[in-house]
Amino acid sequence: MYQLGNLVKELSDKHGRARESLMPILQGIVEKHNYLTDEAMVEVAKELDISAAEVYGTASFYTFLDTQVRGKYVIRVCKTITCSMKGKGEIIQTLEDMLKIKVGETTSDRQFSLIETNCIGWCHKAPAMLINEMPYTELTPEKVVEIIKGYMQKK
């Protein structure tokens, strides 16, 4: 596995150590590690010479900068009105059944996390979800099963 300390250093070298480098560094960690561990946040605080509480405070403001354990694939199902109207409930149900976790949880093999999120900008193709950064739209339970199977085979 990638060494965390090195990653934070590399990202700080790449983006700089000014305050405005904080977001790209945190985003870079999440990209590699799925979420921000406490050690990662402490490392970042040291590199940028700011307090760890401020790093946490900033990270926790942003939905995509998770500070809780997340799996390799984070599934974010849109819960805003159109997706809600067009069958979000069924999509969640399908995912919960398939992954055997509830919304907010992560599978025990740390492969998948299932969460709900606010509008992701695909209302005309609702219901929609993101898996990491990839959008999937016009979902049906069948389609979801296929998509998740694809990801399961990836590992």
Partner 1 sequence: MINLSINNQRVSVQPGTTVLEAAKKLNINIPTLCNHPDLCVAGNCRVCVVEQTGARTLIAACAMPVAEGMDIQTNTLKVRNARKHIVELLLSEHRSDCTKCYKNQKCELQALANEFAFGDTIFLDLVADRPYTIDRSSPSFMKDDSKCIRCQRCVRTCTELQHISAIAVANKGMHQKISSFHDRPMSHVVCTNCGQCVNRCPTGALVEKTYIDQVWDAIYDPDKHVVVQTAPAVRVALGEDLGYDPGERVTGKMVTALRQLGFDSVLDTDFSADLTIMEEGTELLTRLKKVLVDGDKKTRVPMFTSCSPGWIKFIEHKYPELLPNLSTCKSPQQMFGALAKTFFASKKKIDPAKVVSVSVMPCTAKKYEADRPEMRSSGYKDIDYVLTTRELAVMIKQAGIDFRNLEPSHYDSIMGESTGAAVIFGATGGVMEAALRTAYEIVTGREIPFKNLNITPVRGMEGVKEASLKIEGCVDDWKFLEGAELKVAIAHGLVNANKLMRLVSKGKAPYHFIEIMACPGGCIGGGGQPIPTSMEIRKNRMKAIYSEDEHMVLRKSHENPDVIAIYKEFLGKPNSHAAHELLHTHYTERESY
Partner 2 sequence: MENKGLNKVDLIFEKIDPKEVLTKAYKISPDAIIQQILDSGLKGRGGAGFPTGLKWKYTAAVKEPDKYVVCNADEGEPGTFKDREILDRVAYKVYGGMVIAGKAIGAKKGIVYLRGEYRFLLPQLMKELDSFHKMIKQIGYDFNISYCMGSGAYICGEESALFESIEGGRGEPRNKPPYPTTSGVFNKPTSINNVETLVTAMMILTHGPESYSQLGTKDSRGSKVFSISGDTPTPGIFELELGMSVQEFVNEFGDGDTKAVQVGGASGFCVPRKKFGNTIIGFEGVPTGGSMKLFNSSRSMYNVLHNYLDFFAEESCGQCTPCRVGCQQLLKGVEKVKKGEVKSTYLNELMKLADTMKVASKCGLGQSVGNAFRTIVENFREEIIY
Give the residue, chosen from 37, 84, 107, 111, that forms a contact with partner 2 under the rule CB under 8 A: 84
- 119 is a contact residue toward partner 1 (CB under 8 A): no
Give the residue, chosen from 60, 80, 111, 132, that forms a contact with partner 1 under the rule CB under 8 A: 60
Picked from partner 1, partner 2, none, the partner binding residue 90 (CB below 5 to 8 A depending on kind) is none
Q: Which helix (H) or strand (E) holds 131?
A: strand 129-131
CA distances from 60 to 26, 27, 78, 146, 148 (A): 11, 12, 19, 33, 28
- 11 is a contact residue toward partner 1 (CB under 8 A): no
The span from the CA of 91 to the CA of 84, in Å, is 10
Angle separating helix axes 52-59 and 22-33, nearest 10 degrees: 70
Stretch that binds partner 2, among 6-14, 18-26, 95-103, 104-112 (CB under 8 A): 18-26
Amino acid of residue 7: L
DSSP label of 41: H
Give the residue, chosen from 9, 17, 46, 143, that forms a contact with partner 1 under the rule CB under 8 A: 46
Give the residue, chosen from 31, 38, 97, 138, that forms a contact with partner 1 under the rule CB under 8 A: 38
